[in-house]
Amino acid sequence: MDYLKELAGRANLSATWEAWSPEYRVLAIAAGLAFAYWALRFAVPAVLRIFRPVLFVAFALAAVWALFPEATCSIDLISKLPMICAR
């Protein structure tokens, strides 16, 4: 742990972002993007599995609205949405 603290001290990573050298900024951005890519690879399929029923209902409601807009806008909850049921 002391070794990591010494490396951080040499790189001046405890200071603000502006004090970082360009090499460390590029390294930090690359590491952040790699972590974000890895997290999205695992998070997006899990989120889609969880929200699959909600997405199915939304798709079905959009299909019904496309075919019967007046009947769909007669539903009280949907009639309050200005983008769907503009008066």
> Both 43 and 2 in a single domain?
yes
31-70 residue pLDDT tens: 999 999 998 888 888 888 888 998 898 888 888 878 887 8
> Both 41 and 6 in a single domain?
yes
Q: Give me the number of domains the chain comprises.
A: 2
- Domain range for 19: 1-50
> Both 69 and 43 in a single domain?
no
Helix 52-67 / helix 22-50 crossing angle, nearest 10 deg: 70
Query: For tokens 């590491």, what's the residue?
Result: 31
User: What 8-state DSSP symbol labels residue 13?
Assistant: T
pTM: 0.46
- Cα 24 to Cα 7, 19, 74: the distances in Å are 12, 10, 58
> Both 46 and 57 in a single domain?
no
